[in-house]
Structure 1
Amino acid sequence: MMKASEVIAATKAAIADFDFTGVTTDSRAVKPGELFVALKGGNFDGHDYCVKAAELGAAGVVVSRDVEGLPAGVSVFKVEDTLLAYQQLAHAYRLKQQGLKVFAITGSNGKTSTKDLLAACLGAKYKVVKTQGNFNNEIGLPKTLLSIQPDTDIAVVEMGMRGLGQIAELCRIAEPDSGLITNVGETHMELLGSMENIGKAKSEIVVDLPSDGFAVLNGDNEYVLAAAGKTKAQVVYFGLGENCDYRGSDIVTSALGTTFTCTEKKSGKSVSVRLQLIGEHNVYNALSAIAGAACYGVPLEDSARALATARLTGSRQEIIYIGDITFINDAYNASPASMEAALKTLAEAKKAAHGAVRTIAVLADMLELGAISEDAHRRVGRWAVENGVDYVLTYGPEAAYISEEVKKLGGETCHYADRQGAADKLRQLATAGDIILLKGSNSMQVGKMLELFK
């Protein structure tokens, strides 16, 4: 028998070309005509599902080893590394889209929220595709790029990282035209060791931007400011400081959200912005979105209208009313900076309620903090007391330090080893009128507390 490559080499034959309808890595969701890429991970191997994908209509498979039992007519593309091939396909597809702009976002906190808000603002003028959920890694980014349609004007992509060089790798796949850094905080301290290193890792998003692109930077964060000298792109600052190109002021919080004024430095023009979100940190997210959209010609008024109805990806400061109890479900993830912001939000919600309401903070471990973990959790305890939280309920080994600090400062608190113990206590504690914050690292699953009340 002869291999197809040998036939082509011998006869100079032309290969019949056809279009795949899409590219997928999920064998459960294959649509007819798609190309299935068999990724391999620690607990799964996509090669085991190639036959199933073909049965569902996959027209081709990308594999790194031979697969038996594939139906006749299914194209097989054999490569050394299927993940690399998936990324190469996404990169090639991104470059194929004439006129497409890619706007990349990273930061220690707020990048998913900012992605949602920026996409909403840009959507006032353009056809926009954005990262779904938090698919911001080496698999999720290609998935977003491959979802771009021929009529897409701008793709807003989120980029996460856990170490140096990872955002640079994602940038090689997406080739962003513009980049945005929300902030630099203490997330990933365990792996990167210092704020300077975290800032360096985040700044990779702007290093290779083209000169006609934009680097949208938090003008109030010293570690983000350091990125300005690493890019050829035009630098645009957002924040609350006087020197920011897009500056927020007159911040007012109510039970229904937040209002503020955004002023464009260059023109002196101001616009009033209303968010269905609570907290100063969301003002920063909104300012960055307004700034990023303005770079592409979206008027301030249009961005303000878009932000008034913008919604965030689930479990990020999601306000939920169950009976007479208000939950602030901010349980997707946690870092010292986002914990501080969430506790301030809880205090603002209590103040806005204008009544004798009680606040309860259900707090679990913040992970990946390394040597600073105890100190960081103790700081959270101090912030809880400083922000007047009426009761702090914690669980997890690291969160014990939060409770210890609250108790030392005279606050009311109780700690449990696991979520079940904390859940039983919350069931006893919660009464009508309470405002309850749910916050912790994603794997701590604090959001499941809601199941007690629904």
Structure 2
Amino acid sequence: MITVKTIVEATKACTKMKDKFEFLGVTTDSRGVKPGELFVALKGENFDGHSYCAMALESGAAGVLVENPMDLPEDKVLIVQDTLVAYQEIAHAYRKSMKNVKVVAITGSNGKTSTKDLVAACLATKFKVIKTEANFNNEIGLPKTLLNIRPDTEIAVVEMGMRGLGQIRALKTLAEPNVVVITNVGETHMELLGSLKNIAKAKSEILEDLLPENTAILNGDDYYVSHMKTGAKIVTYGIITKNIVQGSEIKISETGTSFTYTSLITGARGSIDLPLFGEHNVMNALAAIAVGETFGISVENIKKALNNAKLTEKRQQILHFGSVTAINDAYNASPASMEAAFKTLRQLFNAQGRGRSIAVLADMLELGENSKDAHARVGRFAAEAGTNLIITYGEEAKYISSEAAKLGVRVIHCKNGKEAAVELKNNLKEYDIVLFKGSHSMAVDKVIDMVFDK
């Protein structure tokens, strides 16, 4: 897969290993190391991979990349100043060596992972595709994805997340994407960046230094994204403003969302029956259509991919427990994704035509000084959606309940998720539809397990 010589040239590592020796893979997980792989000893706040180097070698690792040699065999060690930087440099060198592989990079405040899944599904109808696993979209996850490229890989679909300025730029440099997608600009990471303008600036780093042979696929309905500049060819998508890939005739049913799209890329027109709910998923699908058409995917294959789409778990995952429907959207939360979730809840409730709509909500994190107002807005979203009952827990989520209560919604605020589960059990009735949502660390999905004994 990658030779010692390539690694030394990329990282300036010191080693007694032979230049021509070829590692069969690169891993940072000592528990899953495979024979012939290079184990990279990363360090974090609560762990140090150097402690597991001997174990990795015993498990068959052909070598270890470390910052200090310790008591390890000299002919198995590559020494660098910083193992994380070296890991990234190895991934970049490997990506550059795969000259025929195209990279599609996706960023945005919301919808990155769902868009990635839909893009990969469309492209996989014609090409050998790999994609970011789960949401491994940071300075460790992106190199992991790039190092998963295989000799027969034709396209890699990668997700790029950030928590501050400069981070998307660094990830873009690693991946060298041919096509980029920006889904939207929202309030996620407001605590760290301070304003939507700064968040937009951070996201737009993915557009820097792109050339006319590159393609930038941009949300034409998003004010900040639609005003971004780049040297790449621009393809816009949306359902409100006039776009190159345009969605219309959106209808929500108990089984998903149908819509029609027209494309100025190829002149195509298609009808999609998406097994997902909500206008936000239509937007994600339109981005996938734009990418698909950029790579020459036919209307028939786009329809086939989207009509059978499956998303990463905990992203508006529909679960059925007898007559009760649960919407597991518990992976993460922001004001924009909360608004989209309540629209979906209302549309699904209207399509079902019976029962009640309920929401179990927890804190949205990293909103800084805007947190109180942002949570209050969620209370208003809930009221506007006609939600029958809201159950909340968390210090910030109390502002959701208080605002919703002012607007006439029945609310129950709880100390923790366990109490929220008890309250939901006590209030649940046949044919209820329940939305579960909050930031990842609030573990709202555990409430589902407690209520329905999963």
TM-score past 0.5 threshold: yes
Equivalent-residue separation in structure 2 for 1:80 and 1:284 (angstroms)? 44
Equivalent-residue separation in structure 2 for 1:16 and 1:108 (angstroms)? 43
Q: Which one of the candidate residues 380, 383, 399 is aligned to 2:381?
A: 383
Gaps of 5+ in 1: 6-12
Q: Is the 8 A contact 2:36 2:60 kept in 1?
A: yes
The AA in structure 2 aligned to 1:217 is L
Partner residue, 2:116: 115
Partner residue, 1:10: none
Shift of residue 140 of structure 1?
0.2
Q: 1:324 to 1:271 in 2, by over 3 A?
A: same
The AA in structure 1 aligned to 2:145 is T
**More deviation in 43-52 or 319-328?**
319-328
Partner residue, 1:173: 174
1:141 aligns with 2:139: no
The AA in structure 1 aligned to 2:359 is A
- SS at the partner of 1:61? strand
Which structure 2 residues correspond to residues 316-335 of structure 1 after superposition, within 5 A?
316-335=315-334
Q: Which one of the candidate residues 42, 45, 61 is aligned to 1:42?
A: 45
Partner residue, 2:4: none
Which structure 2 residues correspond to residues 330-409 of structure 1 after superposition, within 5 A?
330-354=329-353, 356-409=354-407
The AA in structure 2 aligned to 1:137 is N
Q: Which one of the candidate residues 52, 57, 66 is aligned to 2:55?
A: 52
Partner residue, 2:416: 418
Shift of residue 63 of structure 1?
0.2
Which structure 2 residues correspond to residues 188-227 of structure 1 after superposition, within 5 A?
188-227=189-228
Q: Is the 8 A contact 2:139 2:171 kept in 1?
A: yes
Q: Is the 8 A contact 1:393 1:422 kept in 2?
A: yes
Equivalent-residue separation in structure 1 for 2:320 and 2:128 (angstroms)? 33
Q: 1:170 to 1:266 in 2, by over 3 A?
A: closer
Shift of residue 267 of structure 1?
4.7
Q: Is the 8 A contact 1:327 1:436 kept in 2?
A: yes
Q: Is the 8 A contact 2:129 2:153 kept in 1?
A: yes
Which structure 2 residues correspond to residues 158-169 of structure 1 after superposition, within 5 A?
158-169=159-170
**More deviation in 333-342 or 298-307?**
298-307
The percent of aligned pairs where both chains have the same amino acid is: 57
Equivalent-residue separation in structure 1 for 2:152 and 2:57 (angstroms)? 29
Partner residue, 1:292: 291
TM-score, normalised to structure 2, is 0.94
Equivalent-residue separation in structure 2 for 1:97 and 1:37 (angstroms)? 21
Q: 1:348 to 1:63 in 2, by over 3 A?
A: same
Which structure 2 residues correspond to residues 267-282 of structure 1 after superposition, within 5 A?
267-282=266-281
Q: 1:42 to 1:266 in 2, by over 3 A?
A: closer
Q: Is the 8 A contact 1:50 1:67 kept in 2?
A: no
Q: Is the 8 A contact 1:179 1:209 kept in 2?
A: no
Equivalent-residue separation in structure 2 for 1:116 and 1:381 (angstroms)? 30
Shift of residue 400 of structure 1?
0.2
Q: 1:219 to 1:411 in 2, by over 3 A?
A: same
The AA in structure 1 aligned to 2:161 is G
- SS at the partner of 1:271? strand
Equivalent-residue separation in structure 2 for 1:275 and 1:375 (angstroms)? 34
Q: Is the 8 A contact 2:247 2:259 kept in 1?
A: yes
Equivalent-residue separation in structure 1 for 2:17 and 2:163 (angstroms)? 45
Shift of residue 74 of structure 1?
4.9
Gaps of 5+ in 2: 1-7, 9-15
1:369-400 CA-partner distances (Å, limit 9, x unpaired): 11111111111001101101110110101000
- SS at the partner of 1:85? helix
- SS at the partner of 1:278? coil
1:79-129 CA-partner distances (Å, limit 9, x unpaired): 000000000000000001121111100000000000000000111111111
Equivalent-residue separation in structure 1 for 2:274 and 2:75 (angstroms)? 50
Q: Is the 8 A contact 1:186 1:195 kept in 2?
A: yes
Shift of residue 16 of structure 1?
5.7
Equivalent-residue separation in structure 1 for 2:319 and 2:209 (angstroms)? 42
Equivalent-residue separation in structure 1 for 2:429 and 2:241 (angstroms)? 44
Partner residue, 1:62: 65
Shift of residue 239 of structure 1?
0.3
- SS at the partner of 2:350? helix
- SS at the partner of 2:216? strand
Equivalent-residue separation in structure 1 for 2:26 and 2:75 (angstroms)? 14
1:29-77 CA-partner distances (Å, limit 9, x unpaired): 0000000000000000000000000000000000001221x3x575210
Equivalent-residue separation in structure 1 for 2:384 and 2:223 (angstroms)? 25
Equivalent-residue separation in structure 1 for 2:157 and 2:427 (angstroms)? 42
**More deviation in 413-422 or 136-145?**
413-422
Partner residue, 2:3: none
Equivalent-residue separation in structure 2 for 1:223 and 1:441 (angstroms)? 24
Equivalent-residue separation in structure 1 for 2:51 and 2:267 (angstroms)? 60
Q: Is the 8 A contact 1:216 1:292 kept in 2?
A: yes
Partner residue, 1:106: 107
Shift of residue 268 of structure 1?
4.0
1:251 aligns with 2:250: yes
1:448 aligns with 2:449: no
- SS at the partner of 2:227? helix
TM-score, normalised to structure 1, is 0.94
Q: 1:142 to 1:389 in 2, by over 3 A?
A: same
- SS at the partner of 1:35? strand
Q: 1:196 to 1:14 in 2, by over 3 A?
A: closer
* Count of residue correspondences: 438
The AA in structure 2 aligned to 1:56 is S
1:190-220 CA-partner distances (Å, limit 9, x unpaired): 1111111111110111112232110000001
Partner residue, 1:315: 314
Q: Is the 8 A contact 1:54 1:74 kept in 2?
A: no
Q: CA RMSD in A?
A: 1.5
Q: Is the 8 A contact 1:239 1:284 kept in 2?
A: yes
1:241-288 CA-partner distances (Å, limit 9, x unpaired): 352000000000011100000111355431001111000000000000
The AA in structure 2 aligned to 1:62 is L
